[in-house]
Structure 1
Amino acid sequence: MEYQRGFDRLVNFSDAVVAIAATLLVLPLVELADPGQSDSFVDVFREHGVEFYAFVLSFLVIFTQWLSHHRVFRDLIGYTPALMWVNFVWLLSIVFLPFPTKLIAEKNGYDSSSSTLYVATIAVSVISMFVADIIVSRHPSILAEDSRDLERVRNGAISSVLILIAFGVAFTSLGLWSLMILLLTKPINHLVSRRAE
Structure 2
Amino acid sequence: MSDTKTPRSPYDRDSVEFARAFTFFDAVYAFALTLLIVNIDPPEASDWSDPWTWLASGLGWQLFGFLVSFVVIAVFWRTNHRLSSGFIAMTPGTITANVVALAFIVFIPFSTQGISDPETGDQPLAVAVYAVNIAAAVCAQSAIFLVARRDRVIADPLPRRADTIRLLDTATTPLIFLLSIVVAYTLGADWARITWGLLLVVGPISGRIADRAIARIVAEDAAARNR
TM-score (norm 2): 0.73
Please point out which of 92, 97, 100 is paired with 2:111.
Answer: 100
Displacement after TM superposition at 1:96 (Å)? 0.5
Q: Percent identity?
A: 24
- Counterpart in 2 of 1:138? 150
* Matches for 1:1-197 after TM superposition, within 5 Å: 2-3=11-12, 4-29=15-40, 31-32=41-42, 39-40=48-49, 42=51, 43-47=53-57, 48-106=59-117, 107=119, 109-140=121-152, 142-144=153-155, 147-149=156-158, 151=162, 154-172=165-183, 173=187, 174-183=191-200, 184-195=202-213, 197=216
* Structure 1 consecutive aligned stretches of length 4 or more whose deviation exceeds 6 Å: none
Instruction: Report how many aligned residue pairs link the two structures.
Output: 192
Task: Classify the secondary structure of the residue corresponding to 2:48.
Answer: coil
Note if contact 1:129-1:156 (Cα within 8 Å) is conserved in structure 2: no
Unmatched segments (≥5 aa) in structure 2: 1-8, 217-227
Instruction: Give the deviation of 1:86 after TM superposition.
Output: 1.4
Q: Is this contact kept in 2: 1:167–1:178, CA < 8 A?
A: no
Range 72-81 or range 160-169, more displaced: 160-169
Deviations 1:56-75 (A, max 9, x none): 11100001111111111012
Q: What letter is aligned with 1:10?
A: A
CA 1:154–1:129 in 2, change beyond 3 Å: closer, same or farther? farther
**Equivalent-residue separation in structure 1 for 2:207 and 2:62 (angstroms):** 34
Unmatched tracts of structure 1, length 5 or more: none
| Displacement of 1:40 | 4.4
How far is the alpha carbon of 1:100 from its aligned partner? Answer: 1.1
CA deviation digits over 1:29-50, x for unaligned, max 9?
2x4156x657247232332200
Which has more radius of gyration?
2
Farther-moved stretch of structure 1 (94-103 vs 181-190): 181-190
Q: CA RMSD in A?
A: 2.5
Higher relative contact order structure (alpha carbons within 8 Å, sequence separation ≥ 6): 1
Q: Report the equivalent of 2:6.
A: none
TM-score (norm 1): 0.83
**Structure 1 residues 165 and 38 mapped into 2: Cα distance closer, same or farther (>3 Å)?**
closer
CA–CA distance in 2 between the matches of 1:56 and 1:67?
A: 16
